Structure 1
Amino acid sequence: MAIMPVRTVSAGSAVPSVAYIFSGLLVVAAVLVVGAGQGHPVSVVLAAVLVLAAIALPAWLKMVDQWQRAVVLRLGRYQGLRGPGLFFLIPFFETIAVLVDVRIRTTEIRAEEALTRDTVSIAMEAIVFWQVRDPAKAATEVENFVVAVEQVAQTSLREIIGARDLSALLTDRAAADAELRAVIARKTERWGVEVSSVEIKDIGIPPNLQDAMSRQAQAEREKQARETLASAEIVVAQKVREAAAIYAADPVALKLRQMNLVYEMNKERGTTILIPTELAAALGGVFTPP
């Protein structure tokens, strides 16, 4: 359907409003002149004018809120956008086809029993944040743009699930959010809709798979703990071997180490350690003050 260029007319637009007001004044003046010419009192004529105005103004004068835009048709063809605020319509010629809310909206979507690329059945919930940027297209290109956006979002969610493995969905939600937003935006752009963001709320997996994943995660943690312990034992063994080489090259150092170990084991008990004369002689001048 061909659409004329979008033209927003607000309450301050001079040409349409002035034309309608001028036409109304001409009608009022004509009624006054005719009534005066026929000898009717001015009060009666004014009362008739007020009655006509009360009937005509609701059909001429319209108002929409700040967050709304009125899609106006003239003789069934798209004429333009009006609002926010007050504006006039030509009675019997112009009509408001639909009032479009241009605020950001949220749509919740859910996919039940959708298969991932690695054939795992999951459920997923997401929220789509979107906004009508072109009310003319939203009103003329699709019958019900709200329902259309919701249905497109539902099918796009299943597409994203089927294109990714379960592990990718669980570990990188940001990438899935961005891809889903791009898919929905591409499909709804022709309706004048802009998708600002998509956020995945929850990913549900079968209970038996949850147990298997929990056991796998626990096994992975145990594996890492054992690897860490084995690495520590290797380091300790290397240090013990280095110490053994040092003690083998220096027997005095070995004796001192042995005595130090004996002292550390008995120092809390207040025990006196006696060194045999032969050991003192073997240590030579170790205990001799410098």
Structure 2
Amino acid sequence: MAFTLIVFIVVVAAVLALAQIVAGVIGLGAIVGAVAAGALAASSVHVVMEWEKAVVMRFGRFNRVAGPGIVFTWPIVEFYTVRIDQRVAVTYFGAEETLTADLVPVNVDAVVFWMVFSPKKAACEVEDYGSAVSWMAQATLRKAIGRASLAEVACRRDQLDAELKDALEEKLDGWGIDVIDVEVRDIVVPRELQASMAAAAVATRERDARMILAEAEADISDMLKDASANYEGDPEAMRLRTMHLAYESVRASGGTLVIPSAFSEGFTNPDAADALAKAAKKG
């Protein structure tokens, strides 16, 4: 506005000075002519910022995209409709109480990062491209949530982000808008469902823990069967195992280990070792 006002004042002053030189007097006609010339000049010179583009129309039809810097247009014949900001914009959007595929209402908040790559399309194809991005993102988010279960929405945020980005790119490309990224910020489940979901998660973890314990017990029993088969018929191996167990017990206790006489006979008596091996196998 300051630049336009300065142009208007300079042109009016120049016209009045010219009238003074030519006619020697400044009359009403000179004043009216100076004001008209100033208004035309002010409407013909525009300043467009570095991050903007001006869409220039001529007789109502698209003519060119101009800027940044000083942009000149023909008075009356040309005018620019809008300045398109080509910086990256951030739009917040959300979906409140949207039903998932398993009929659970959730509240989802997200943001979309976008920018205008075609000022012509943004000015001519859509009335308010900023509001269009917001409403389109919200509608796309609701559709994506409705196609997925609650577990998929909560656990697969990256997949949901990618799905939203692809869908928005396809729809906004015709408006000259490029989607840079979509990020889901928060997913809120109703309070009355949180307790039941927590109980289900605890039950699932307990089931998994019991399955892992059962698998470990099965592996241990298989290994014990293999060890028993190896010791069977080999009293020397059984004696060495007995000595190893005694050594480990002494080292763990840090002192002297008192063992029964029947157990100690396994170190010297082969027959006792055989009996101990059979007893171990039965046990």
Q: Structure 1 length as normaliser, TM-score?
A: 0.70
Residue matched to 2:138: 154
Distance change >3 Å, CA 271–CA 76, structure 1 → 2: closer
1:81 aligns with 2:65: yes
- CA shift for structure 1 position 160: 0.9
1:137 aligns with 2:140: no
Output the CA distance in 2 between the equivalents of 1:141 and 1:255.
Answer: 91
Give the residue type in structure 1 aligned to 2:65: L
Residue matched to 1:234: 218
1:212 aligns with 2:196: yes
Which of 78, 84, 106 is equivalent to 2:90?
Answer: 106
Residue matched to 1:128: 112
- CA shift for structure 1 position 180: 1.5
- CA shift for structure 1 position 261: 4.7
- CA shift for structure 1 position 156: 1.2
Residue matched to 1:191: 175
Residues 41 and 75 in structure 2, CA contact (< 8 A), matched pair in contact too = no
- CA shift for structure 1 position 266: 5.9
SS of the residue aligned with 1:92? coil
Output the CA distance in 1 between the equivalents of 2:96 and 2:117.
Answer: 31
Give the residue type in structure 1 aligned to 2:137: A
Give the residue type in structure 2 aligned to 1:150: S
Aligned residue pair count = 249
SS of the residue aligned with 2:107? strand
- CA shift for structure 1 position 161: 1.0
Residues 135 and 192 in structure 1, CA contact (< 8 A), matched pair in contact too = yes
Output the CA distance in 1 between the equivalents of 2:128 and 2:99.
Answer: 29
Output the CA distance in 1 between the equivalents of 2:144 and 2:87.
Answer: 27
Give the residue type in structure 2 aligned to 1:213: M
Output the CA distance in 2 between the equivalents of 1:202 and 1:258.
Answer: 61
Instruction: Provide the alpha-carbon RMSD of the alignment.
Output: 3.7
Distance change >3 Å, CA 64–CA 238, structure 1 → 2: same
Distance change >3 Å, CA 230–CA 92, structure 1 → 2: same
Residue matched to 2:80: 96
Output the CA distance in 1 between the equivalents of 2:198 and 2:241.
Answer: 49
Structure with bigger RCO (C-alpha 8 Å, 6+ apart): 1
Residue matched to 1:3: none
Give the residue type in structure 1 aligned to 2:256: G
Which of 101, 114, 118 is equivalent to 2:102?
Answer: 118
SS of the residue aligned with 2:102? coil
* Alignment deviations for residues 211-270 of structure 1 (CA, whole Å, 9 cap, x no partner): 233223222322232223223322332333333344442345545655665565567443
Residue matched to 1:270: 256
- CA shift for structure 1 position 101: 0.8
Output the CA distance in 2 between the equivalents of 1:96 and 1:270.
Answer: 100
* Alignment deviations for residues 152-186 of structure 1 (CA, whole Å, 9 cap, x no partner): 11111111111222222223222222221222223
- CA shift for structure 1 position 37: 6.2
Deviates more, 1:203-212 or 1:60-69: 203-212
Distance change >3 Å, CA 97–CA 271, structure 1 → 2: closer
Residue matched to 2:42: 58
Q: Structure 2 length as normaliser, TM-score?
A: 0.72
Output the CA distance in 2 between the equivalents of 1:89 and 1:207.
Answer: 60
Residue matched to 2:7: none
Unaligned 5+ segments in structure 1 are 1-27, 42-47
Residues 263 and 273 in structure 1, CA contact (< 8 A), matched pair in contact too = no
Residues 249 and 257 in structure 2, CA contact (< 8 A), matched pair in contact too = no
Which of 203, 207, 212 is equivalent to 1:223?
Answer: 207
Distance change >3 Å, CA 112–CA 55, structure 1 → 2: closer
Residues 141 and 191 in structure 1, CA contact (< 8 A), matched pair in contact too = yes
Unaligned 5+ segments in structure 2 are 1-13, 26-30, 274-283
Output the CA distance in 1 between the equivalents of 2:224 and 2:117.
Answer: 74
SS of the residue aligned with 2:76? coil
SS of the residue aligned with 1:187? helix
